[in-house]
Structures are given as C-alpha cells and as structure tokens.
Structure 1
C-alpha cells in the first residue's frame, strides 16, 4: 500500500460525486422547513390556548366587574334578581372530582397490577380490552345508567347502610346523612369514578409493563414477596407515569358534563352532606346557557367557564411541576 499524499487527497476530494455536494443545500433547506413547520404548530397551539383564555376573560369581565370578589365567595344564584355566585358550582366540581379520585385510583391500581403481575396470559388481553372499551362509552350513557339504575339501587341498599355506619361517626358523620333521594353529589362522584377508571388503569398498565423483567426477577431472587416487588421496584420505577395517568383522569373528572348533569341534582345550594343534590360548573353551563337572558346572566355563566379553565390549568400545572420534580429526583439518584 502507498501513502496518500496531499495531491492524492485533493484528487480524491475532487473526484467526490457531484450529487453529494448538490444535495447538501436542499437538505439544509429541508431541515429548516421542518423546524419552522413544527415551531409553527407549537406556537399555534399556544396561540389557540391564549385566544380561548382571552375570549373567556373578555366575555366574563362584566360579571367580575359587577360582583367583584363577591362572585367567588357567594353561593347565591338567582336569575330573577340577577344575583350570581360561583362558590356552589366550584365546590361541587372539586368535591365530585375528589370522590372520583378516591374511588378511581385504588381500583385502577388494582386492575393494572392484576393485568401485568397476576393474570394468566389467556386472561390479560380480554380484561385489557374490556377496560379500554369502557373509555369508548359516551358520557351520556353513563349518566342514563346512573340515573335509572345506580341511583335507585343506591337509594334502597347502599345509602341506608352508609348512613347507619358512617353517619354516626364524629366529625365526618354529617357528610353521610341526608334523605334517600339517589341523585346527589356522591352519586355524581361515583359515576365519575367509573368514567376515569379506564384512562387511569390503561396508563398504569402500560407503564407497569415497561419495568425491566430483570429488576423484578432480581428482587424475587433476593427473597422479596410479590407485594414487596410491587411496592419497592415497580412503583418507584414508574411513579412519574402513574402520577401522569392520575392527573389525566383528574382532568377528565373536572370537565365532565352530561353524566354529572344526570345524577347530581343541579341545585345551587351548599350542603355538608354528600347525599344532597348539588351542581358543578359544567352541569350549570349545560343546564342554563341556552336559557340565559341578558348580558349579566350570560357573562356570569361565561365567568364560570373561565373559572373552570383556570382551575384545570392550575391543577394540571401543579401536576406538571410535580412530575418535573420527580424526574429531577430520579435523575439525581441515578447519577
């Protein structure tokens, strides 16, 4: 072999195919076009979000200007006297979502663990498919089922038992007392729990399945029980994804409309009892927006929508910050 001199290197460079040099310039333009396109889509989403927020704020301003901070702390809602307050629907939205999470998270966790850790292979796919099909059912079907099936059964069998057992306890007893009418804040929260379970369970199942098998087998080899493997290996490895799934379900619960409207009772009243009728922001908008007469009435309803938007953004932003903190914590430990 002979060494390549500088002259030989120049000749090799000169003999490089012309197409390579010619294609370099179009390739750079293609990369720039792709970058600009994706940047446009990202900014477009932010622009739409800002436009929605500004439009709601502009339309809701007459109500905020007329009532001031009293709009946020008053539970009065009287279209006849044009006195409106957002406290009752705001509390109803948060309480029903909290009830949904209290029921939905443990059940979703159990479903995901059963599918990924305990179910035989022939049962995993049918159960997983059934859970996913629950997410495809329209919300109005859940509402009709809750009104005609769950509410009567709850009134006759479940509510009396809860009143006799939980209703006599100190501090929390008044929350489980009330007339057996079926439609209530508790019923709405329970229906929401059924609706968010498919979303949370599906995400938990997916993140549980990405845990490396070697980690679990190593824990079993060291004498760990199945529960210890789940608690000390699976959950720490997937906690970011689990919390993300929970927040997705919470976002669904905060904004659900039709199912809640069927079973919550739609009463503008604040009660300590969960067995009394109530309302949420979404149910109030669904019931009264078409009947709103006058600028102040319409503006008050739009103000409720603005508050729901703000509540959802705050909750999801808090969840995002929590996820970022968890990711940094995991990165520090791995380092």
Structure 2
C-alpha cells in the first residue's frame, strides 16, 4: 500500500510542489511475507532449472567427452560400440514437431477466432472450458487413441498423399513401403495434443484486441471478417507466433504418444520420408533404451536428454517473451 507521508510536506510549499512529493511506501507484515514468498518461489524455480541442467551435464559428461562434436553428426546409436549420436533422432524430433504444428496452428487460430469473435455467448464459455479440459488429458490417452483408432484412418490418407503429391520429393513413398507407424501419423497425434494449448494462448491474445478499434471498424461499415483481418489478427500476430512456439516446445518433448506409434529407426533416409513406416525422437529414444542400457549407454542418453532440455528451454523462453510482448498490442513483431 502506498500513502503520502504528511511529514514531508513543508510549510510554504505550493499545491503543485505538494503534488510532486513522492509517495512513501509502507509495508505491513503481510506485504513482507508475500514478497518473501514470491521471491522464494521464483528463486526456487531458477535453482531447480539449474540443478536439472547441472545434473544432466554431470551425468552425460563421459559420453560427451568420448563423442565430441560427432555426437551431433552421427546417426547410429551404439554407445558400447563407440558409434553414437543424435543426428537421426534430432531430425525425427523436429519432423514430428513440424508436422504437428502444420496441423495444429491453423486449427488453433480458427478455433480461437471462433471463440472470441463468432461463437454465440451461450456456447462461448463451454467452449473455453472444453479447450482447457482437453489440455489436461494425459498424453497416454492420446497415444492409445492414436494407435488404435486414428492410425487405420490416416494410412489411406498417407497413401493418397504419396500418390497425388508425390512430385514433392519427401512426400513420395518408395515402392513397397509401409505407411503405418510413421512420422506423419505421430505428428498428427501430437498435433491433437498441442492444439488445446495453442488455442488457449491465441484465444487469450485475441480477446485483448482493443474494443474501440473493433467497434470503430464496424461503425465505418466493416464486416466481421474485415474487423478480424484488419484489427484482431494484426494485434494478435505476436501471440500467434508465441502460441506456435509454445506448442513446438510441447511437441519436441512428447514421449509416450510418439513411443506408442512410431517404429524406431536410425536411418536418416527413411526419416526424410515422413509418410513411410519408421520414425524416431530424442524423448522416445530415452524411453525405449534407458532400462536396457549400460552405464555408458545411460550417460549417452543423458547427453541426448541434455540436448533436448536446452532446445525446449530456449523455445519456451522465446515463446514466453513473444506472448508477453503481444499482450499490450504495442509490439507484436519479433
């Protein structure tokens, strides 16, 4: 609470000078306790992140020292044989994430715009609740549903894409190749997982578009779509980018859903054809190999985990920065 201390107002001062007197902050015991609690919580978060990073670095140091820079260029994974690296799984991780964002971002933008600007008031609140509930569904449920139900439905779509869009090199499947357990199917399932998160963030940003500008555009004869195109979308551009990057951070680290669907491979040639059977990711590699690895193999897996930790940390940090900048509407460009 801030109050003006009357003792600092000297006799003979003018009213204007009195208005310029700086307020004196008086903190009660509750204020000090709250400040200490929030400071401790923030500090604990930073310390926890540092401890996790340090733990991964220490546990992976033997593998990093042995592999050197080849850890990022080798595609094979045979730690006990001296040949191991994350080139293949890193490529697979980004392919799954980009497939997921390719589906999730347009759907999230459309869903967020519908909720904020088109949905009747009677269903707007239930839609918000539904989106928030979908974000809380465990990834295991998405993985099981994707493997048992979605995969048989997506295989014919993959075949159609390969047949009709095969002039694009990475969309052309090799003769006799299978289409099950592919990077494409894993990406679609992950898209369903990140969709609620992207939708919620975009909805929050779109809802903060200035009402005065929207009403002014309508008063000048603009259509509802014109208001969305000229006011809402420019205002929320940074939020859309931030939401996409938050979804990217979630997609990069997804484990169980991807593990349930893909057929693991370390062949980069197969990974560059996402419609074909075969795929991999860093998180899936760790989940599948951890229990059967030697001590040096675990160190190599820790190194892979450290790489994923740094990547997702950077992605989420940039996303949070972009979203926070977009909320005022004053700066929505990166």
- For the aligned pair, the TM-score class normalised by the smaller chain equals 0.7 to 0.9
Contact 1:196-1:253 within 8 A present in 2 as well: yes
Whole-angstrom CA distance in 1 between matches of 2:93 and 2:274: 13
- Listed as ranges, the matches of 1:222-261 within 5 Å are 222-261=220-259
Partner in structure 2 of residue 13 of structure 1 = none
Partner in structure 2 of residue 114 of structure 1 = 114
Contact 1:143-1:262 within 8 A present in 2 as well: yes
Question: Over residues 97-130 of structure 1, what are the superposed CA-to-partner deviations in whole Å (9 max), with x where a residue is unaligned?
Answer: 1111111000011111112222223332343333
Q: Indicate the SS of the match to 1:69.
A: helix
Partner in structure 2 of residue 287 of structure 1 = 288
Alignment RMSD: 2.7
Contact 2:162-2:171 within 8 A present in 1 as well: no
- In structure 2, relative to structure 1, the CA distance for the partners of 1:312 and 1:231 (3 Å cut) is same
Partner in structure 2 of residue 174 of structure 1 = 170
- Listed as ranges, the matches of 1:1-335 within 5 Å are 27=27, 30-78=30-78, 81-155=81-155, 157-167=156-166, 169=167, 172-178=168-174, 179-270=177-268, 271=270, 272-276=272-276, 277-293=278-294, 295-320=295-320, 322=322, 330=330
Question: Over residues 27-50 of structure 1, what are the superposed CA-to-partner deviations in whole Å (9 max), with x where a residue is unaligned?
Answer: 555544443333222222111111
- In structure 2, relative to structure 1, the CA distance for the partners of 1:28 and 1:231 (3 Å cut) is same
Whole-angstrom CA distance in 2 between matches of 1:219 and 1:115: 20
Structure 2 stretches of 5 or more lacking a match?
1-23
- In structure 2, relative to structure 1, the CA distance for the partners of 1:221 and 1:328 (3 Å cut) is closer
Q: Indicate the SS of the match to 2:56.
A: helix
- In structure 2, relative to structure 1, the CA distance for the partners of 1:30 and 1:142 (3 Å cut) is closer
Whole-angstrom CA distance in 1 between matches of 2:206 and 2:325: 21
Contact 1:82-1:297 within 8 A present in 2 as well: no
Aligned residues: 305
Question: Over residues 230-254 of structure 1, what are the superposed CA-to-partner deviations in whole Å (9 max), with x where a residue is unaligned?
Answer: 1221123333433332222222111
Whole-angstrom CA distance in 1 between matches of 2:279 and 2:207: 40
Q: Indicate the SS of the match to 1:279.
A: coil
Whole-angstrom CA distance in 1 between matches of 2:169 and 2:70: 30
C-alpha displacement of 1:142: 1.0
TM-score (norm 1): 0.82
Whole-angstrom CA distance in 1 between matches of 2:27 and 2:146: 58
Question: Over residues 305-324 of structure 1, what are the superposed CA-to-partner deviations in whole Å (9 max), with x where a residue is unaligned?
Answer: 00000111222233355457
Partner in structure 2 of residue 18 of structure 1 = none
C-alpha displacement of 1:133: 2.9
Whole-angstrom CA distance in 1 between matches of 2:128 and 2:227: 22
C-alpha displacement of 1:290: 1.0
Q: Indicate the SS of the match to 2:236.
A: helix
C-alpha displacement of 1:62: 0.5
- In structure 2, relative to structure 1, the CA distance for the partners of 1:28 and 1:305 (3 Å cut) is same
Q: Indicate the SS of the match to 2:330.
A: helix
Q: Indicate the SS of the match to 1:330.
A: coil
Whole-angstrom CA distance in 2 between matches of 1:58 and 1:119: 52
Contact 2:238-2:332 within 8 A present in 1 as well: no
Higher helix share: 1
Whole-angstrom CA distance in 2 between matches of 1:328 and 1:217: 18
C-alpha displacement of 1:296: 1.6
Whole-angstrom CA distance in 1 between matches of 2:73 and 2:251: 23
Q: Which has the larger radius of gyration?
A: 1
C-alpha displacement of 1:220: 1.5
